[in-house]
Amino acid sequence: MSASQYFSKTYREARARFRKTVAEAAGTLDTAVNPNKGPAGEELSTDAAWFGPKGAERSLVLVSGTHGVEGFCGSGAEIGWIAGGGPKRLPAGMGALVIHAINPHGFAWLRRVTEDNVDLNRNHIDFTKPLPQNPAYDEIAQAICPRDWSAAGQAAARKALDAYAAKHGDFALQSAVSGGQYKHKDGLFYGGAGPTWSRRTFTALVERHLRAARCVAMIDFHTGLGPYGHGELICPHPVDSPVTKRAEAWFGKEMTVPARGNSSSAVIVGTMGRGLQNALPDAAFTDIGLEYGTQPAKDVMLALRADNWLHLHGDLNSPRGKAIKAQIRAAFYQDKDDWKEMIFKRALDVIGRTAENLAKA
């Protein structure tokens, strides 16, 4: 059977397929309805499935759609794992919480961000404390998200960004843009001014299903960085963190750590892993980002910038708007059989090894 059968064309299809697959596998479904609607007026929800004994001391967590449009990938991996009998092959006594479309608005609308333009993977910070600063982003904010998206406007913005890269280096530019910022609410990689609906929903699911867990491992599915179809393992915690030490012990040199400088990802704060850690402070936690490559980084970034402009200044229903939506979909989801096979094979391998290591923790 081809892995393509597990991947969906739309959020609506993915949601229905996930719910049906969970029911057929005798999982327990937990649904949170988002207050917003999809582009066709459809209901949006985060759906979570629980497999295994209640109160399990060891629990595996799978998350899709943290960055909405990236949900096509994670949804396919989750559905395929469940449909293929993955929950039945978990070590004895282990539970699994499979969270589908934690950012349903972004998934449905083909956006990386939530309904309030927040990057959910930058939102899990303590908003009662001074917000993180990103002066590098401030310096080039107008070039990152120009109001003028004409050919001339894009060229002028590109010139400014190229000048920054020439002075500071390409990775410094990537870090400035993607590291997260909390000042420009209409900009890219905005961490928000408070907890989003998706963050609150995630926390509630974790507290409801994993309260008794002593050891937890989370795999958060992402796309957009790295070579085509390659699944990079990323642990976004400090080098000396117990989380990082466990992740590296489990996967060795396969596990990259942005803080070590050996990852395709910049160092970021406010991640989903941090949110789970905050919700379960007494559990031994292992955080794994599974990041799949799609297109060259410059094309992915251009798609993000175009989508930001479209939602601020453009017309979604215009030919240009539809072209930009196709552009951002392709930047985060390669609707090709070979890509899907690579994604699914790697997902099954990582899920299996994570469960094996978790059982020994």
State pLDDT tens for residues 134-160: 999 999 999 999 999 999 999 999 999
pLDDT given for residue 312 in this prediction: 97
203: which 2 tokens?
A: 């926390």
Q: Which residues contact 85 (CB under 8 A, 6 or more apart)?
A: 25
Measured CA to CA, the distance from residue 64 to residue 280 in angstroms comes to 20
pLDDT at 1 over 80: no
Measured CA to CA, the distance from residue 79 to residue 6 in angstroms comes to 6
pLDDT given for residue 14 in this prediction: 98
Indicate the CATH number of 3-129+192-294+333-360 among 3.90.950.20, 3.30.70.1520, 3.30.465.10, 3.40.630.10: 3.40.630.10
183: which 2 tokens?
A: 């000042």
Kindly report, residue by residue over 285-316, the tens digit of the pLDDT.
Answer: 999 999 999 999 999 999 999 999 999 999 99
Q: Which helix (H) or strand (E) holds 328?
A: helix 319-332
Q: What percent of the chain has pLDDT over 70?
A: 100
- Half-sphere exposure in the Cβ direction for 341 (13 Å, CA): 5
Q: Which helix (H) or strand (E) holds 23?
A: helix 11-24
Q: What percent of the chain has pLDDT over 90?
A: 99
- The overall average pLDDT reported for the chain is 97
pLDDT given for residue 318 in this prediction: 98
Per DSSP bridges, beta strands 284-293 and 58-63 are unpaired
Q: Which residues contact 133 (CB under 8 A, 6 or more apart)?
A: 182, 183
pLDDT given for residue 196 in this prediction: 98
pLDDT given for residue 225 in this prediction: 97
Q: Which residue has the tokens 């006594």?
A: 93
Measured CA to CA, the distance from residue 79 to residue 195 in angstroms comes to 28
Q: Which residues contact 40 (CB under 8 A, 6 or more apart)?
A: 12
Per-residue 3-state assignment (H helix, E strand, C coil) for 38-49? CCCCCEEEEEEE
If pLDDT is split at 50, 70 and 90, which confidence band does 50 have? Answer: very high
Measured CA to CA, the distance from residue 181 to residue 88 in angstroms comes to 42
Reduced to 3 states, what is the DSSP secondary structure of residue 359? helix
pLDDT given for residue 155 in this prediction: 97
pLDDT given for residue 179 in this prediction: 95
Measured CA to CA, the distance from residue 44 to residue 109 in angstroms comes to 10
- The full set of domain ranges for the chain reads 3-129+192-294+333-360, 135-187+300-318
Mean pLDDT computed over 324-334: 98
Q: Do 90 and 120 meet the contact criterion of CB atoms below 8 Å apart?
A: no
If you count them, how many residues does the chain have? 361
Kindly report, residue by residue over 238-274, the tens digit of the pLDDT.
Answer: 999 999 999 999 999 999 999 999 999 999 999 999 9
Measured CA to CA, the distance from residue 218 to residue 243 in angstroms comes to 11
359: which 2 tokens?
A: 């059982």
If pLDDT is split at 50, 70 and 90, which confidence band does 276 have? Answer: very high
Measured CA to CA, the distance from residue 172 to residue 179 in angstroms comes to 10
pLDDT given for residue 69 in this prediction: 98
pLDDT given for residue 103 in this prediction: 98
Considering only CA atoms, give the Rg of the chain.
19
pLDDT given for residue 303 in this prediction: 98
If pLDDT is split at 50, 70 and 90, which confidence band does 36 have? Answer: very high
Kindly report, residue by residue over 200-233, the tens digit of the pLDDT.
Answer: 999 999 999 999 999 999 999 999 999 999 999 9
In DSSP terms, 232 is beta-bridged to 291
